Amino acid sequence: MHHFAYRNGSLFAEEVALSRIAAEVGTPVYVYSSATIERHYRLYEAAMKSAAPAGKAHVFYAMKANGNLGVLKTLAALGAGADTVSEGEIRKALAAGFPPEKIVFSGVGKSESELRFAIQAGIYQVNIETERELDLLSRIGAELGKRQEAVFRVNPDIGAGGHAKITTGSSENKFGVSFEEVGRLYARAANMSGVRIMGLALHIGSQIRETASFEAAYTKMVALVGSLRGEGHRVDRLDLGGGLGIPYEMPKDFDHGPELIDAYAAMVGRVTRGLDVELGFEPGRMIVGNAGVLLTRVLHLNPRPTKQFLVVDAAMNDLVRPAMYEAYHEIWPVTEADADAATVAYDVVGPICESGDTFTSGRVLPTLKPDDLIAFMTAGAYGASMSSTYNQRLLVAEVLVKGAEYAVTRPRQSYEELLGTDRAPPWLA
């Protein structure tokens, strides 16, 4: 469910016309809906709390999905925690108002200075991925006179996800310590003064639209809790990761309900019933994916004998998912076409100088012309957060809508900002 809909033939975000945002802010521009973010967060949190043993569930929004300050502040105000993967993300989470005691630090390659920063900030939990990281964390913690709470991210050897590049839970992937190693690491950590191990974490992949792979991984994890406790180790926390997928196919009249969240929560409840643990969750896409669109303007038509290219002003540097994962995004014209309008199969492409800058091929859309506006739907997750300045293109603007209001929460980058940080080498200055 989301809050982008046609009113009198024109596409709106909540109560704001996208054509107005395009006129006032320019294109390309990401537009996010506060109402959708709030709805998804509340639904997800309520479902996980009802599923967790004794209602103990913490939701840490995976801010890599969308780190826009307006989006972060919206979620912080709802009481969400933040799942971070770099010092930059921790700093931004703090700046957005997430309290340190609601911040988790995950990631396969944390540096010494990042760990130091995290401990000094007083964050809730570090998700340790390697033995060396355990040693490093404890050494820095001891140096700082602190005992950092942490969990081991285990690799359940169950991978899942919408694309090979976003599968993380298989033993072929670089993430986490193996099940066989955890007991030994737990035993070592018991003698360390700078770290306190609180439990386990896992994350098996992203854009997973069924519950069976989660269930298989969580079941293995629950068995591991039993055996670790049998060896006398303390397991108070289970961080079950993120990865729940969302519908990218969105016929206009189809209202997706929270069925998948409910099915997932029911499964979590079943698998963890009676286990005395606090659950953690790290959803990203599920919270923000359907809450954003990338609004772009048609620049040119380029008819070929076998194809019709539609060149738009957004490119793969603004939304890389189609080029990188063959991802599908619905395209809705901002001006609604009549039901009997003529259609054309378009190859929708951006201005970047490589053929990979293709959003879709042969997509049947109502006839479009230069200056028309279209929206790439479901672009709220891993859209702006993965953007770059490839081809010296400016990072696009981002806008947050709330009811009848909107705010530019990140202005379009300026050419001064784009070019101003470069330095010539002294021998060429």
What are the helix (H) ranges across 52-178? 69-77, 87-95, 112-121, 131-143
Q: Which is nearer to ligand LLP, 14 or 239 (CB)?
A: 239
Residue 353 annotated to the active site: yes
> Which range binds ligand LLP by CB under 6 A, 47-55, 221-229, 283-291, 361-369?
283-291
Number of residues that bind ligand LLP (CB under 6 A): 21
Interaction between residue 206 and ligand LLP (CB under 6 A): yes
Cα–Cα distance for residue pair 251/332, rounded to 1 Å: 10
Per-residue binding letters, 325-364, with ligand LLP (x by CB under 6 A):
x---------------------------------------
Name every residue whose Cβ is closer than 8 Å to that of residue 296 and which is 6 or more positions away in sequence: 27, 28, 312, 313, 314, 373, 374, 375, 376
Interaction between residue 319 and ligand LLP (CB under 6 A): no
Interaction between residue 66 and ligand LLP (CB under 6 A): no
Applying CB under 6 A, among 28, 81, 194, 242 the residue interacting with ligand LLP is 242
Interaction between residue 285 and ligand LLP (CB under 6 A): yes
Cα–Cα distance for residue pair 167/396, rounded to 1 Å: 28
Interaction between residue 28 and ligand LLP (CB under 6 A): no
Name every residue whose Cβ is closer than 8 Å to that of residue 163 and which is 6 or more positions away in sequence: 207, 325, 326, 327
Write 104-111 long-range contacts (CB < 8 A, 24+): 104/60, 104/239, 104/280, 104/282, 106/153, 106/201, 106/203, 106/282, 108/174, 108/175
- Please name which of 307, 322, 310 lies closest in space to residue 377, comparing C-alpha atoms: 322
Interaction between residue 207 and ligand LLP (CB under 6 A): yes
Q: Has 382 been labeled as part of a binding site?
A: yes
> Which range binds ligand LLP by CB under 6 A, 3-11, 114-122, 282-290, 348-356?
282-290
The DSSP call for residue 243 is: -
What crossing angle do the helices spanning 259-272 and 34-51 adopt, rounded to 10°? 30
Q: Which is nearer to ligand LLP, 22 or 314 (CB)?
A: 314
Task: Work out how close the CB of 153 gets to ligand LLP at its nearest, in angstroms, rounded to a whole number.
Answer: 7
Task: Work out how close the CB of 384 gets to ligand LLP at its nearest, in angstroms, rounded to a whole number.
Answer: 12
- Please name which of 288, 342, 286, 296 lies closest in space to residue 11, comparing C-alpha atoms: 296
The catalytically annotated residue of 339, 353, 364, 424 is: 353
- The contact set with ligand LLP (CB under 6 A) reads 62, 65, 83, 106, 166, 168, 203, 206-207, 241-243, 282-286, 321, 325, 381-382
Residues annotated as part of the active site: 353
